Structure 1
């Protein structure tokens, strides 16, 4: 006798939720990281000899300093 037991809708099972928890937490962590980066470091200056023009950052070749 082949008895198949219907366990109900998928959202009442724990395994789909457990499998979706990891990627969901990664997405939340990425969003928090992006928000913190824009809040704390968006106006930070470039100190390595670069020039920011719009969204492009380029390195400026300068003459050697004379003492």
Structure 2
């Protein structure tokens, strides 16, 4: 006699295996929502030049002195 198995949606393993990617997709959605609602956090004493953020009170880097013989 052969036994009839349960349908796949009544077994725990498919749901357990699908829960990981589902949690990752929800976390990605939350991350995108947070990034869109909080675009830039202002930092006191810093200026932004494109992708570079520099402290306003910091001196610019000095070029290396070239010694002449």
Structure 2: gaps (5+ residues): 52-59, 61-69
Structure 1: gaps (5+ residues): 51-56, 58-64
Give the structure-2-normalised TM-score: 0.57
Computing the radius of gyration from Cα coordinates, the structure with the larger value is 2
> How many pairs align?
47
After TM superposition, where is structure 1 displaced by more than 6 Å over at least 4 residues in a row? Answer: none
Bigger proportion of residues as helix: 1
Partner of 2:35: 37
Give the structure-1-normalised TM-score: 0.58
